[in-house]
Amino acid sequence: MLIGYIVKRIVQVIPLLLAISVIVFIIINLPPGDYLTTYIRQLELSGTEVSQSQIENMKRLYSLDKPMYMQYLTWMRNIITKGDFGRSFSRSLPVTEVIGERIGATMLMSLSTLIFSNLIIIPVGIYSAIRQYSLFDYIFMFIGFIGMAVPGFLIALFIIYTIFKYTGNAITGLFSQQYQTAPWSWAKFVDMLKHVWVALLVIGLANTANGIRSMRAMVLDELQKQYVVTARSKGVQEGKLLWKYPIRMALNPMMSTIGWMLPGLISGETIVSIVLNLPTSGPVLFAALQAQDMYLAGSFLVITSVLTVVGTLISDIALAMIDPRIRFGGVSE
């Protein structure tokens, strides 16, 4: 039954991915004008004359001389058959090369933040639910509301300013100046650890705040159900009761968040990355959208959309393995 459920979900994903690619391509072409038009205008304003033949050559180079549907079909055919996402207008480089040079740092940051957040979310959320209205519950909720209410980039600016004012050390970026272009070594890794904690704290705080509140609410909801009351009345040990039933059921929403966590591994936190000067993918995507670099921006959007769908598929499969009611379509009355 589980295999049949997995096959059914995979079949449903294929047309969804095709629809997403069409929508993304339409969206990136909606703004008036394009990169080439803006680039030619900038050349003319600087006094450089551009002939019609040069314009036509540039249009052919970037496949802008074809109708929109032909541009889309060519782009998708190259992605599927060659893994070629096109060429970045603003950087004059293949899109795969532009994304590839940032993907390592982005995934390192995102995975580290994900692990950091979950190591806090699960135990703190469970403790807050079990010790409801205790002193630590109030403290955790207070920190959680701060994380939700204050924008991440503002927290980043506050930390950067405070540390620079009292120590004179600039903590932006992932590496010190002498290690930015140096090959990987133990000294470079140690230097990265001195800088990465700020990004982990800032990016992880908002995710942790939401996660703790969700985990706490789910555990509290399960603790009030009749099967828990019945189990307690029959003398089931509290520790065994908590871990075997309520906490296991409360983990379902945590599994469902995989769908939006995976695209975060690629896109990262854009504004926080700009403030902290992190070499991640977010600032590149932001610059591509500003410059109307359609193949670079479109490739980012397609990749993050695909990861969202794949993440949702993985979370559905994980939930079906944990909770048999899901793969059987729920319990009918």
| Axis crossing angle, helix 2-29 with helix 294-322, rounded to the nearest 10 | 160
Instruction: Report pLDDT for 332.
Output: 44
Give the pLDDT confidence of 255-282 residue by residue, as tens digits. Answer: 666 666 666 655 557 787 888 888 788 8
* This prediction's pTM: 0.71
pLDDT for 249 equals 77
Are the C-beta atoms of 144 and 213 separated by less than 8 Å? yes
Per-residue model confidence as pLDDT tens digits over 132-186: 888 888 888 888 777 778 887 888 888 888 888 888 877 777 777 787 777 778 8
CA distance 231 to 86: 60
**213-220: average pLDDT:** 86
Please state whether 237 falls in left (phi above 0), alpha (psi between -120 and 50) or beta: beta
Q: What percent of the chain has pLDDT over 70?
A: 90
- Give the long-range contacts of residues 142-148, CB within 8 A, separation 24 or more: 143/209, 144/208, 144/209, 144/210, 144/212, 144/213, 145/209, 146/205, 146/209, 147/205, 147/206, 147/208, 147/209, 147/210, 148/206, 148/209, 148/210, 148/213
Q: Please say whether the beta carbons of 288 and 282 come within 8 A.
A: no
Question: Helix, strand, or coil here: 120?
Answer: helix
Interior CA angle at 331 toward 330 and 333, to 5°?
A: 135
Do the beta carbons of residue 103 and residue 197 sit within 8 Å? no
User: What is the rounded CA–CA span in Å between residue 164 and residue 157?
Assistant: 11
Provide φ and ψ at 294, rounded to 5°. Answer: -65, -35
Q: How far apart (Å, rounded) are the C-alpha atoms in residues 108 and 147?
A: 22
Look at residue 328 in the predicted model and tell me its pLDDT.
Answer: 61
Q: List pLDDT tens digits, range 290-329.
A: 888 888 888 888 888 887 788 788 777 777 776 666 666 5
What is the pLDDT, as a whole number, of residue 331?
45
List domains and CATH numbers for the chain: 33-84 (no CATH), 102-327 (1.10.3720.10)
- The answer on pLDDT for 22 being more than 50 is yes
pLDDT digits (tens, 9 = 90+) for 72-118: 888 888 888 888 888 888 888 888 888 887 777 777 777 777 788 88
What is the end-to-end Cα distance of the chain in Å, rounded? 21
| Length of the chain counted residue by residue | 333
With 0-12 / 13-18 / 19 or more C-beta atoms within 10 angstroms meaning exposed / middle / buried, residue 277 is middle
Return d(Cα 109, Cα 130) in angstroms, integer. Answer: 32
The per-residue pLDDT for 176 is 79
SS3 call for 1: coil
